[in-house]
Structure 1
């Protein structure tokens, strides 16, 4: 099993939204490196649900990958802000996964997460814009065991 961090602005889509819906596509990712991480995900992988662009940002819960390698449907929708005119159903450019809610946590703020992650990890490096990134196994296990890095 691998571990991932998925970022979302809570005013757009929050852990509470996922809890209410139960399952959701992680669509709208338009960064090639993040897309490649989505393509590496396997069913059963665990994802930390991170609330970004809020005060404070941080991990708000867990979800699990339940389906992989799905073409992102928003790339085909001209009404979507994620529409990609170069994508076709025969040759999609963007992929997604479906995730299922596992549990909500009291928010673990980014400042409390900084000492947990290697200094070069994209989450703690300044200027990082990736919405999907791997989490080292040892960090993930500590976070899950303690709901933080204490």
Structure 2
């Protein structure tokens, strides 16, 4: 299993709306590196859900429930989506400031490639963010 991070602006598609809907396809990706990451996602992979712009924090965990297929919002065959479902809300959101200040997360893609909307996360980075978000 691999781990991922996806970003959404809360005013566009918030964690709360995602939880109400229970499932969504992750569309609108128009960056080739992010698209390639979508193509690598496998059913069952876990995904950190990050609120970008407003909040700038990891707020929950989702999982991949359907692997890459043609983005239904465009006829351009270059773009794909995956289906995600929410798994768990973090007890305590993990802010970008907290992530940047944590020595164990110094190499995470969120810090190194801040503009990328879909990125891989190492298992130990994923686990560290979960620990920070557990509220302990």
The TM-score with structure 2 as length reference comes to 0.90
Judged with a 3 Å threshold, the aligned counterparts in structure 2 of structure 1 residues 66 and 137 are, in CA distance, closer, same or farther, namely same
Contact 2:93 2:133 in 1 (8 A): no
Q: Distance in 1 between matches of 2:15 and 2:111?
A: 21
Q: Which of residues 105, 124, 133 is equivalent to 1:117?
A: 105
Name stretches of at least 5 consecutive residues in structure 2 with no aligned partner: none
SS at match of 2:68: strand
Structure in which a larger fraction of residues adopt helix: 2
Name stretches of at least 5 consecutive residues in structure 1 with no aligned partner: 77-86
Contact 1:143 1:149 in 2 (8 A): no
CA apart distance, 1:24: 0.2
Contact 1:64 1:102 in 2 (8 A): yes
CA apart distance, 1:69: 1.6
Q: Distance in 2 between matches of 1:13 and 1:34?
A: 18
Q: Name the counterpart of 1:104.
A: 89
Number of aligned residue pairs: give it.
133
Q: Name the counterpart of 1:72.
A: 71
Q: Distance in 1 between matches of 2:38 and 2:95?
A: 24
- RMSD of Structure 2 on Structure 1 (CA): 1.8
1:67-90: CA deviations, max 9, x gaps?
A: 0121111113xxxxxxxxxx2xxx
Q: Name the counterpart of 1:4.
A: 4
CA apart distance, 1:147: 2.0
1:55-74: CA deviations, max 9, x gaps?
A: x3110101000001211111
Q: Distance in 2 between matches of 1:95 and 1:135?
A: 20
